[in-house]
Structures are given as structure tokens and as C-alpha cells.
Amino acid sequence: MALPKLNDQPKYELTIPSTQQKIRFRPFLVKEEKVLLLAMESKDETQILSSIIDTIQACAEGELNTSKLTTFDIEFMFTQLRSRSVGENVKLSLACGECEEPNEVSVPIDNIDVQGNMNSEGSIIELNSDISLQLQWPTYSNVVNESKALSGKSSSESTFDMIKMCIKTVITDEERIDFASESKVDQDNFINSMNTNDLNGIKDFMEDMPTLKHDVKFVCHSCNKDNEMTLSGMQDFF
């Protein structure tokens, strides 16, 4: 006798932060959780990032182009998906700022929200009287592709790669140049020709980008020290 199929899954709704698009989704199933666990156990960043996107795509109803979504979109969607699939709280081990003793802290996932300048997408910074840059939030797919090429790169090289992902258009009096369509050599030469102030303008944009954040307070069980810290980005929560 064949076993019955378990198809009756609850449906939930969320709003994608950058687009305000509403989507319906179901909790992830055992088959998807196994893929996530295997990816986490591998400690391979590319595999982890890809498994998160695949899980979101599998659980979302209707058309969802994850390749166009920002990093904070994907992070927010995954936290909501995990909340409905595993539990509404995540237990974290946080070190005391005084004695460094690890403390188990429970954080309600629904209290984790996207913070930052939601109006910064498309910002224009002026390099000189003739050239300006239109900036963009990196997509999650950009980050996944970049992680595949990170092996052997220094942190400064990774920072410069992120800077390149933030440049959407180079604007002159005569034309608008799609930065991503230019060769890597031309992109590198362009970045290398900037002065410090130019570069700091892009870095300020990066630091102001929306991200998952949550303020946590706890009293250390070992030394009774009051602790306050801000968790930022999905890596701090999972």
C-alpha cells in the first residue's frame, strides 16, 4: 500500500523590503532542510548562499526572480521563512564583553528587521565636474558569484570587488556607461584612478546600505555584567 502524500502546508505572506512586492510562501520541508544543513556543515560559503536562494525559490508561490533581489531582501526572506519553518526564536551563543564567557541568548526572529537608508538606491556621487557615478545595492546573486572567486583573495581585494558591484552607471556629459558591461581590466583601471575622497563616497554608500539588525541585551551568567550589542547581517543570526 502506498503511503499518503502530505500536501497540506500552511501559507504565509511577506513583503520584500526593496520592492514592496508581496509574496506568499510555505515553510520549508525536510528535503529542503537537509540541503540547508548539508550546506552549513560544509562551511562552503558559496554552497550555503546557493542553498538559501534555492530554498526561498522552492517555497515561494508564483514568479520570483531572486537574481534581481538585494542581499538584505534575501536575508529578510530567509529569516521569515526560517521563523515559519523551524521556530520563532533563534538561540545564539554570545560572548560577554567583560569576561568573554559565552551566553545563550534567545532572539525573536520577528524582531529582526531591515535597517538602513532605504532611499539610497540610485544615489549619484560626483567625481568631478565631468564624471558622476550612479550607485546600486548589490544583488544576492552578485554576492554568490563573487564568493566563488574569493578563494585566495585578501580582505582588501574583496572590498574592492564589492565596490565594483555598487557602481551601476558612469555618467559623463556625452553618455551613460553601464559599468558591469565593461571589462574587468577597464573596471580596475577606473577604480584605481579614483582619489581617496571618491572612494570614500562609495564606502559611505556601502556602510549605509540596509541590512538585518537587532539590538540585544543580556546579563552574563558568569560575571553578571550587563551586555548590549547590535547583531548585523544574517551571519550574526544563524
Counting runs of H as helices and runs of E as strands, what totals does the chain give? 8, 11
The tens digit of pLDDT for each residue in 139-163 reads 888 877 776 555 556 667 778 888 9
Q: Which residue has the cell 572590498?
A: 159
Four-residue CA torsion sign, 81, 87, 88, 91 = negative
Radius of gyration of the chain (CA): 21
| Mean pLDDT (the chain, rounded) | 88
Which of 44-53, 127-136, 181-190, 206-215 has the lowest average pLDDT? 44-53
Least confident piece of the model among 50-64, 154-168, 188-202: 154-168
Q: Above pLDDT 90, what percent of the chain?
A: 57
Domain boundaries of the chain, sorted by first residue: 8-87, 88-116+213-238, 124-145+154-207
SS3 124: strand
Would you place residue 218 in the very low, low, confident or very high pLDDT band (cuts 50, 70, 90)? very high
Q: Is 129 in a helix, a strand, or coil?
A: coil
Query: Quick one: pLDDT band at residue 4, thresholds 50, 70, 90?
Result: confident
Residues 90-133: pLDDT tens digits?
Answer: 889 999 999 999 999 999 888 888 988 888 888 999 999 899 99
